[in-house]
A and B are shown apart, each in its own frame.
Chain A
Amino acid sequence: MTNVHAATDVTAEIRAYIVDRFLFGKGDGLSNSASFMEQHLVDSTGILEVVMFLESKYGIKVADEELIPENLDSIDRIAAFVRRKQA
C-alpha cells in the first residue's frame, strides 16, 4: 500500500513539474507515457533542468551515463527512474 502511494506521489509530482515548466501549466494533451522527444517538449537544456529538479527534490545523484531516454523520456520513465534510484 505505502509503495503504491509513494509511486503515485512521485508520478504526480513529476507530472506537475513537467506541465508547469514545459507546458506552461496546460497539460491536458500530455499522457504520462508520452515521449518528450516525439512531442518536442524538452531539449538538452530542458533535460539538464529536469535533472537538477530531480537531484534537489529527491536527493539523488544522476550520472552522465544515466542521461538517456530510457530513464528520462516520459513522466512514467522519470518516475520509475527516481524510484529505482531511491530503492
Chain B
Amino acid sequence: MLHHHLALTAARVPDRPALVAGGRRLTYRELDEASTRVARGLIALGVERGDRVAIQLENCAETVIAIYGVLKAGAAILMVNPSTKAPKLSYILGNSRASALITSGAVRQSMPGLVLPPHVRVSVIVGPGPDRPADRATVPWDAVAGTPSTDPLPDRVIDLDLAALLYTSGSTGDPKGVMLTHRNITTVTASIASYLKLTQDDVVFNVLPLSFGYGLTQLFPTVMVGGCLVVEKGIVYPHVTLTQMAAHRATGFALVPTIATTLLTLDLSKYDLSHLRYITNAGAGMPTEVVRGMRRALPDVRLYLMYGQTECLRALYLEPDQTDLRPDSVGRGMPNQELMIVDESGREVGPNVVGELVVRGSHVMAGYWERPEETARKLRPGKLEGERVLYTGDLFRRDEEGYYYFVARQDDIIKSRGEKVSPREVENVLYTLPEVLEAVVAGVPDARLGQAVKAYVVLKPGATLDERDIRRHCAALLEDYMVPSAVEFLKELPKNERGKVAKRELVATSHPD
C-alpha cells in the first residue's frame, strides 16, 4: 500500500528530514505521526474505507500530511487544483460523491457561492476560516490534526483499492476522474525511484502543484527512499526559487518547459547549484532549443526528458547520457512495463512508423470513475485474457534503437504551461456569456507557454463585449492556466462543408497578438 512507504521509512530513519514547507520542517517520525492523527480524526468524522476525500490546498505541509492521513484512513485522495473555481469544484465533488473536503480558508474565500453537495459531510479548513456562514459541518484542521492517538491504524484497504482519483480534462469538456489504485501508484513510484537513482540523501525541490500527477510523483518516490521533499508554492520569483534551491542544497528538481524558459532568463551561474544532481522535464515536451539552453547553463546536472499522462502517471524517460544526442526523444521506457506503437487497427508497427502509443503495466489506471464508455476506449484488451492496456491517444514513433519520439496528440487538447486545457471546457464557459453567439478555443504556439489558449469569439448583433470582459469572465470560472491569454473577435467562424468549425484554418489565418 502506498502509505506503507511512509511507515516503513519512518521506522527505518525516523529522525531524517521528510518535509520542508514554508517555515515548517518535519522528520519522518513527525510526518508519520501527524498523518496518523489526521487519519484517526477523519475516521472519527465518519470517513470510511473507499470514500473519496477531496484535498484542495496550496502546496504546504498540511497538503502532504492530509494525503497520507486520507490514505491511512482507507480513503482515496481526490486532489483538486487550488485555483479550481466553484462550479468545477461542485461538479468534481458531485461526480465523485466525495465524503469530505480538506481545504483552506483562503481557497474557500476565493469561491463565493459554492454550495457543497449533500454527501460532503464535513469540510476541514486549514488556517483561518472563511468569513461567511459555516458549511454544513466545518471543522478546523487543528482539531483533526490534534487527534491524540498516534497508534498505527490497521489496514483498511488492499492494493486493488483506490488510492487516488485525479480529474483530468477531456475533449468532451467535463473533467473525468482517473482511478489510480495503490498498486498503480506503488508500481510507478518504484520505477521512478529506480531510474532517478533516488536515495535518502536526496533533497527533492518541488514547485509543482501536488494536485497534479507530476507533483505527486515528486512526493511518493521521495518518501519511499527516505529523502527530503522541499515543497514550495510554485515559482513567482525565479531569483527567490533559485536562492532557496541553493540554501536547501537541492539535489533534484522537477520542471515543465515553461519553468525552464523562465529560469533561462536568469544567469544561473550566479547561484550555488553544486548539489543539484538532476532535473526532470514532463508535462509537455521540452523544445530542443530549451534543452540545449538548460544543458549549457547547467552542464553538470543530469537532465531527464520524460513522458507520462495521468492515466499511468509516467511511461518514458530518456537516460541523461542521451540528452545531448537525442534531445527530441523521451527514451526507451521505464522498468517493469511494456510499450507498443500500433496502427489504427491495433497492429504493432515497425521502426519509424507513426502510430498510437500503448502502455502495458501495473501502473495503468483502473479506469475513469463511472465512465464505462470512455474507459473502454482508453483501456482495451491486452496480451493476456482479461488484461487491459492503455491506449494513450498520443502519436509516437520509435527509431531502430528503440528510442521513442512524441509526434502529436490525437485530440484537440491544448498543453499550456505543461497543463491540459480542454477547448470544450473553455468554450462552455464562453457560451455562458449572453452576448456570445459563437466561440471556439484553440492552442496557438507560444515561446513561453508551449501553447497559449486563444479564444475566437463572434458576438451577437449589437453586443459590446471587449477582450477584458471575456477574460475576466473566464478568470472567475476557470483555473488560471485555462483563461485565454488572447481573444480575437470575428464576424463569423470559418466552417467546413459539414458545418464544423475549421480550427486549423482559424489558427493559421488569424492574427497573432
Q: Which residues of A contact B (CB under 8 A)?
A: 20, 23-26, 36-38, 40, 42-45, 47-48, 64-65, 67-69, 72
For residue A25, which residues in chain B have a CB less than 8 angstroms away from its CB?
Answer: 468-469, 472
B239 with A65: CB separation less than 8 A: yes
For residue B258, which residues in chain A have a CB less than 8 angstroms away from its CB?
Answer: 45
B225 CB, nearest partner CB in chain A, Å? 30
B262 with A48: CB separation less than 8 A: yes
Known: A40-B83, A45-B262. Contact between A67 and B472, CB under 8 A?
no
A38 CB, nearest partner CB in chain B, Å? 7
A67 with B471: CB separation less than 8 A: no
B475 with A64: CB separation less than 8 A: no
Chain A to chain B: the 9 pairs with minimum beta-carbon distance, closest first: A24-B472, A24-B468, A67-B239, A25-B468, A44-B235, A64-B266, A24-B471, A44-B262, A64-B239
Interface assignment of B15: CB less than 8 Å from any CB of chain A: no
Q: Which residues of B contact A (CB under 8 A)?
A: 82-83, 106, 110, 233-240, 258-259, 262, 265-267, 270, 448-449, 468-469, 471-472, 475, 480
From B106, B233, B240, B270, A68 is in contact (CB under 8 Å) with B240
Task: Report 28 cross-chain contacts, Cβ distance below 8 Å, ordered by A residue.
Answer: A24-B468, A24-B471, A24-B472, A24-B475, A25-B468, A25-B472, A26-B472, A37-B233, A37-B236, A38-B106, A40-B83, A40-B110, A43-B234, A43-B235, A43-B480, A44-B234, A44-B237, A44-B259, A45-B448, A48-B262, A48-B265, A64-B267, A64-B270, A65-B239, A68-B239, A68-B240, A69-B236, A69-B237
Known: A64-B267, A68-B237. Contact between A23 and B472, CB under 8 A?
yes
For residue B110, which residues in chain A have a CB less than 8 angstroms away from its CB?
Answer: 40
B236 with A42: CB separation less than 8 A: yes
For residue A37, which residues in chain B have a CB less than 8 angstroms away from its CB?
Answer: 233, 236
A17 CB, nearest partner CB in chain B, Å? 13
A71 to chain B: closest residue by CB: B237
Known: A45-B262, A48-B265. Contact between A67 and B238, CB under 8 A?
yes
Q: How many Å lie between the Cα of A67 and that of B265 in the bound state? A: 12
A67 with B237: CB separation less than 8 A: yes
For residue A26, which residues in chain B have a CB less than 8 angstroms away from its CB?
Answer: 472
A47 with B472: CB separation less than 8 A: no
Q: How many Å lie between the Cα of A38 and that of B110 in the bound state? A: 11
Q: How many Å lie between the Cα of A40 and that of B270 in the bound state? A: 28
For residue A68, which residues in chain B have a CB less than 8 angstroms away from its CB?
Answer: 237, 239-240
Q: How many Å lie between the Cα of A24 and that of B474 in the bound state? A: 10
Looking at chain A's contact residues, the main secondary structure is: loop
B474 CB, nearest partner CB in chain A, Å? 9
Q: How many Å lie between the Cα of A67 and that of B239 in the bound state? A: 6
**In the complex, which of the residues B110, B233, B238 has the most CB atoms of chain A within 10 Å of its own CB atom?**
B238
Q: How many Å lie between the Cα of A24 and that of B259 in the bound state? A: 25
Q: How many Å lie between the Cα of A68 and that of B237 in the bound state? A: 6
A53 CB, nearest partner CB in chain B, Å? 16
For residue A44, which residues in chain B have a CB less than 8 angstroms away from its CB?
Answer: 234-238, 259, 262
A40 to chain B: closest residue by CB: B83
Q: How many Å lie between the Cα of A65 and that of B475 in the bound state? A: 31
A61 CB, nearest partner CB in chain B, Å? 14
B481 to chain A: closest residue by CB: A43
A74 CB, nearest partner CB in chain B, Å? 13
Q: A36-B236, A43-B236 are in contact. List 12 more A-B contacts (CB 8 A).
A: A20-B468, A24-B468, A24-B472, A37-B233, A37-B236, A43-B234, A44-B235, A44-B259, A44-B262, A45-B448, A64-B239, A69-B236
Q: How many Å lie between the Cα of A43 and that of B266 in the bound state? A: 16
Q: How many Å lie between the Cα of A20 and that of B471 in the bound state? A: 11
From A20, A23, A47, A65, B236 is in contact (CB under 8 Å) with A47
Q: How many Å lie between the Cα of A65 and that of B448 in the bound state? A: 21
B233 to chain A: closest residue by CB: A37
A75 CB, nearest partner CB in chain B, Å? 16
Q: How many Å lie between the Cα of A26 and that of B475 in the bound state? A: 12
**In the complex, which of the residues A24, A42, A48, A67 has the most CB atoms of chain B within 10 Å of its own CB atom?**
A24
Q: How many Å lie between the Cα of A31 and that of B209 in the bound state? A: 27
Known: A25-B468, A64-B270, A67-B237. Contact between A40 and B448, CB under 8 A?
no
B259 to chain A: closest residue by CB: A44
Q: How many Å lie between the Cα of A24 and that of B483 in the bound state? A: 12
Q: How many Å lie between the Cα of A14 and that of B236 in the bound state? A: 19
Q: How many Å lie between the Cα of A69 and that of B239 in the bound state? A: 10
Q: How many Å lie between the Cα of A65 and that of B266 in the bound state? A: 10
For residue B239, which residues in chain A have a CB less than 8 angstroms away from its CB?
Answer: 64-65, 67-68
B24 CB, nearest partner CB in chain A, Å? 18
Q: How many Å lie between the Cα of A26 and that of B237 in the bound state? A: 25
A48 CB, nearest partner CB in chain B, Å? 7
A20 to chain B: closest residue by CB: B468
For residue B233, which residues in chain A have a CB less than 8 angstroms away from its CB?
Answer: 37
A71 CB, nearest partner CB in chain B, Å? 9
For residue B240, which residues in chain A have a CB less than 8 angstroms away from its CB?
Answer: 67-69
B64 CB, nearest partner CB in chain A, Å? 20
